[in-house]
Amino acid sequence: MCEVLECGRMDLYLNFDKPLQGQETQKLEKFLSGRLSGEPLQYIFGHANFFGYEFFVDSSVLIPRPETELIVDAVLKSIESAHRKSAEILEIGSGSGCISIALAKQLDDRGVDYIINSLDVSGPAIETAKKNMNRHLPYNGKLSFHQKDVFSISSLKRRVDYIISNPPYISADEYERLPGIVKNREPRTALTDSADGLSFIRKLISLFTPFKNSTELFCEISFGQNIEITNLLDSAGMEKYDFIADLSGIPRVLHLKG
Ligand code: GLN
């Protein structure tokens, strides 16, 4: 109803008896039939909130999730505690562009200079991310989105300060059990690697390793994946890492440090 009437929640209660006008009823019916057919609200409305910013979303991109804000928080905290005046960031998996754009906005507010490059294998996702960039950061030459498959990169040409990612970490088995509203509506390649769920994490670790003394990596992980990842890191001889927990205490972000 807020979307139909373009108002806040409080206005609904304040105008409780006000009847809908013709066009408003049509809009509501359109929204309802979308929901009844199993479409997520964010795709019906065409936008979703992330880190306090509105992002355009459509079925080409994953709907930003609140837990992903942890990555933005973690990078900002690291930049602050290291007293960095500038930061170079590489993101793998732009999707809507929500992480990189929220970071850029926050860094602008804090007077920290940056270069952010964000990659996604999907052309339509890159288009959506660019639309969001133009919405939030017009004329900004410091953030850019590129269509590229991370598996086509054998090694990074130069060091960056941060590698960040919310990769498709759902395993092929788990993907089959996802609720229809996710599985049938959001892009498959944004959700699963169609394997054991760890392909992207292994790839990110391999890109990070040559720069491990001076780069940090933040990567969102699935519920329970911290155990497998701990084994992976221990056998690779990686020592400096921890997991950042979400508000429910579940380890949600792998943090590898130099
Ligand atoms: N970075 C985007 C997000 O977190 C897209 C992630 C993805 O497509 N796996 O929403």
Does 26 lie in the same domain as 115? no
Question: Which of 42, 55, 61 best tests ligand 1's pocket when mutated (most atoms within 8 Å of CB)?
Answer: 61
Same domain flag for 29 and 76: no
Tell me the CB-side half-sphere exposure of residue 210, using CA atoms within 13 A.
10
- Nearest atom of ligand 1 to the alpha carbon of 68: 4
Shared-domain flag, residues 16 and 107: no
- Assess if residue 55 is contained within a domain: no
Residue 103 shares a structural domain with residue 29: no
The residues, ordered by sequence, that sit 6+ positions from 4 with a Cβ below 8 Å of its Cβ are 20, 24, 27, 28, 31
- CA distances, 100 to each of 16, 136, 147, 198, 228 (Å): 40, 11, 15, 22, 27
CA of 1 to the centre of ligand 1 (A): 28
Report CA(60)–ligand 1 centroid distance (Å). Answer: 11
- How many domains does the structure of the chain reveal? 2
Please give the Cα distance from 41 to 108 (Å, whole number): 31
Instruction: Tell me, yes or no, whether 80 and 185 share the same domain.
Output: yes
Mutating to test ligand 1, I would choose from 101, 166, 175, 189 the residue with most ligand atoms within 8 A of its C-beta, which is 166
Protein residues with CB under 6 Å of any ligand 1 atom: 62, 64, 68, 93-96, 98-99, 166-168, 190
Q: Which two tokens stand for residue 93?
A: 């998996």
What's the 124 CA to ligand 1 centre distance in angstroms?
Answer: 13
User: Is the pTM here over 0.85, yes or no?
Assistant: yes
Q: pLDDT tens string for the chain (258 positions)? A: 999 999 999 999 999 999 999 999 999 999 999 999 999 999 999 999 999 999 999 999 999 999 999 999 999 999 999 999 999 999 999 999 999 999 999 999 999 999 999 999 999 999 999 999 999 999 899 999 999 999 999 999 999 999 999 999 999 999 999 999 999 999 999 999 999 999 999 999 999 999 999 999 999 999 999 999 999 999 888 989 999 999 999 999 999 996
Same domain, residue pair 27 and 73 = no
Q: Answer yes or no: is 135 within a domain.
A: yes
Answer yes or no: do 31 and 95 share one domain: no
Asked if residue 57 lies in contact with residue 47, where contact means CB atoms within 8 angstroms, the answer is: yes
Domain check: are 22 and 112 in the same one?
A: no
Residue 56 resides in a domain? no
Kindly list the distances between the CA atom of residue 156 and the CA atoms of 117, 151, 205, 210, 236, in Å, as whole numbers in the listed order.
Answer: 12, 12, 12, 9, 19
CATH code of 222's domain: 3.40.50.150
Q: Atom of ligand 1 at shortest distance to CA of 165?
A: 1
| Distance from residue 93's CA to the centre of ligand 1 (Å) | 6
Which residue minimizes the CA distance to atom 2 of ligand 1? 95
Best residue among 96, 103, 192 to mutate for probing ligand 1's pocket (most ligand atoms within 8 Å of CB) is 96
- The pair of structure tokens assigned to 50 is 């992330």
Yes or no: say if 125 and 95 are a contact pair by the CB < 8 Å rule. Answer: yes
Q: Which residues contact 251 (CB under 8 A, 6 or more apart)?
A: 221, 226, 243, 244, 245
Show the 3-state SS of the chain: CHHHHCCCHHHHHHCCCCCCCHHHHHHHHHHHHHHHCCCCHHHHHCEEEECCEEEECCCCCCCCCHHHHHHHHHHHHHHHHCCCCEEEEEEECCCCCHHHHHHHHHHHHHCCEEEEEEEECCHHHHHHHHHHHHHHCCCCCCEEEEECCHHHCCCCCCCCCEEEECCCCECHHHHHCCCHHHHCCCCHHHHECCCCCCHHHHHHHHHHHHHCCCCEEEEECCCCHHHHHHHHHHHCCCCCEEEEECCCCCEEEEEECC
The answer as to whether 89 is a domain residue is: yes
User: Are 168 and 238 in a shared domain?
Assistant: yes
Closest-CA residue, ligand 1 atom 7, reads: 190
User: For residue range 111-120, what is the model confidence (pLDDT) as tens digits?
Assistant: 999 999 999 9
Do 161 and 246 belong to one domain? yes
Range of the domain at 9: 2-37
Does residue 47 lie within any of the structural domains? no
Span 139-156, pLDDT tens digits: 899 999 999 999 999 999
